[in-house]
Chain A
Amino acid sequence: MNIRLQQVVPIPLKDTLANRRSDIWNSDVVFTKGDRVKIKAPSGTGKTTLIHILYKMRHDYSGELFYDQSSLRTINADTLSNYRQQTISIILQDMRLFGNLTARENIELKRVMYKPIYDDKMVDTMAARLGITHILNQSAATCSYGEQQRIAIIRSLMQPFEWLMMDEPFSHLDEANTAKAAELINEECKKRNAGFILTDLDEDSNLEYSRKLTL
């Protein structure tokens, strides 16, 4: 699936963006299947807004956005949930876990939402790789941000996808843990021949990128 932006500008940022050059806002951009995109941007320039727009969590923008040929403005709820179960996975900056579920249950929810691609042992395997085995049965609300971020990463890898969208996915992780998480993400994307769109504040070499854009 290709993602195409046509002169997209978030309405709340319209004035700020009028005087700035951007690789994405107000331009025509196509993300082709398999692209590994890094989007660099300082705080307050709309990284999270972009991810939310791409994932159709908000639609207060001008311009048009397409998944292949279908405009996100007219897509219906059932089609959208199909995309979210099979084509696009997401790691949100604020993690968005269910606080009253355990870490394992949060991951499990995503695993069984669509026909599972992994059995439940995979949860333990990935948790072991990211070093969060000990908190799997703890309620997510009581986990630290770093732990929550790793839960959110594993959760996003429990489904089939062509695109993985990540909004500052390593912001709460130290270098060692970032490296482990990036390696896991890299492997999982390769397994699926999937591309990703990652936003971050700075330059980094955590993953190999095929395109680098500035917001």
Chain B
Amino acid sequence: MNPLLKKIIRSGVGRVRFIMATIGLGVALLLILLAVQTQVNFDDLLHGKYNENETADFLVINKEVNKENQTQKDKNVFSDADIADFKKQSFTQSIGPLTATRFGVTLQSYSNELPFSTDMSFESVPDEFIDIKSKDWKWEEGQKDLPIIIPSFFLDLYNFGMAQSREELPQISPEALMMISIKVTISGNGQSLEIPGHVIGMTDRINSVLIPESFMNWANAKFGYQQQQPRITRVVVKTQDPSDPELTNYLKEKKLSTNEDKTRFSKARTAVNIIVKVLAGFGIIMLLFALLVFSLFIQLTIASCKTEIELLITLGTSPGQLSRFLMKQFFPANVLIMLVCAAIIAVLQYAACTWLKSQNMYVSPWISWYTIAAAMAVLAMVWWVYRSTIRRYVNAQ
């Protein structure tokens, strides 16, 4: 029946308009798919970079110390409400306080080969935030050895700074450092205690000299000056994605600071987000216009064949048959456009993959499922507009 209908219903009316609308749809589809694919690639890069070995990152966060508040150290602390609010944020996986010593600490060397003596302070943090897995990382009351974790850069500072500055100072390897006993003297409340300490590991995660929480609590109680309640000056936050713009905005808004190197990627990401949104926005506007033109075009075709369609209906052609016929006339062009767009994106993706590989970045060489799903969604939308327009105008005859 369709070849006959094709002769009766001249769908050639306004062919140019139809082609223009189809091209418009093509461009719209291309923009939308490009936006989706870019987003997917960017996520790939992000997770490729941060998720190779670890599934999360840790940020040590403190209140900004500035000219105005530097004299009020009581103010630069996290209240319970601050921490509760932080916990609520979507980017926070967990949060732990860093506890500081409230007593004096000096470290001294036992050996004469490496003589040193320095004032120091410790911090402690719940064990789940520590990346050094060592059986020595524990302290019980009465234990005559204090395990210590230092930031890696302390050793670098010594080896490449201090040791270079004085001819008689040797460089120290991490293994050697861990063998050395250190005399730790703590004092406060008119008492003092000497205890040998050991560096049991070095970390890049937390920029502080750490001791076990159990020792910290015991010593703070015994030697610490009195506080109405413990002050939390720094927190460590476990997050899936330190470059999450939401996180950086939150820090900025609450006047908090952290290791900016970890959050720096966030700026690039914000830029990409804007580009993706602009692309998608233009794409969607063009899509809407294309849909409008398609719908007008169908109306035009139906109106220009009003008499013929009336006679077909008089002879018994069902609205369903007419809709199916009209759908067959118009819709395949859109399917074709979708395939072309998907092919273009696939080629671009392959090219992007090759180029990024030369820059040591990895993205999938294949078009993503999200992109294909987006294309299908657009096509479904076009189909729906066709169907409802055809139904409405055929039934009106």
Contact = CB atoms under 8 A, between A and B. Distances in A.
A176 interface: no
Interface stretch (B76-84, B263-271, B313-321, B353-361): B313-321
B4 A101 contact: yes
Dominant secondary structure at the B interface: helix
B36 to A, nearest CB: 39
A90 B313 CA distance: 13
A98 B308 contact: yes
Nearest to A92: B314
Interface residues of A, number: 22
Interface in B290-319: 308, 311, 313-319
A82 B314 contact: no
B7 interface: yes
Contacts of B4: 101, 105, 108-109, 112
Nearest to A101: B7
A5 B321 CA distance: 30
B320 A78 contact: yes
B311 A159 contact: no
A76 B281 CA distance: 42
Contact of A100 (B8, B314, B315): B8
Given A96-B311, A98-B308, A81 B8 contact: no
B395 interface: yes
Nearest to A81: B318
A114 B316 contact: yes
B176 interface: no
Interface in A94-122: 96, 98, 100-101, 105, 108-110, 112-114
Contact of B7 (A82, A83, A84, A100): A100
A96 B8 CA distance: 13
B1 A82 contact: no
Nearest to A156: B315
Contact of A112 (B1, B7, B308, B319): B1
A119 to B, nearest CB: 15
A78 B318 contact: yes
Contacts of A109: 1, 4, 8, 315
A109 B313 CA distance: 12
Nearest to A111: B1
B319 A81 contact: yes
Contact of A82 (B308, B315, B318, B395): B318
Interface string B307-337: 0100101111111110000000000000000
Nearest to A114: B316
Interface in B1-59: 1, 4, 7-8
A83 B315 CA distance: 10
A106 B395 CA distance: 23
Contacts of A90: 314
Interface in B106-123: none
A93 interface: no
Contacts of B313: 77, 81
A77 B315 contact: no
A90 B316 CA distance: 10
B49 to A, nearest CB: 59
Contacts of B1: 109, 112-113
A84 B8 contact: no
B320 A101 contact: no
17 contacts: A55-B314, A77-B313, A81-B316, A81-B317, A82-B318, A85-B316, A85-B318, A96-B314, A96-B315, A98-B7, A98-B8, A98-B311, A100-B7, A108-B4, A112-B1, A114-B316, A159-B316
The 8 closest A-B pairs by CB, nearest first: A84-B316, A81-B318, A85-B316, A112-B1, A109-B4, A77-B319, A81-B316, A98-B8
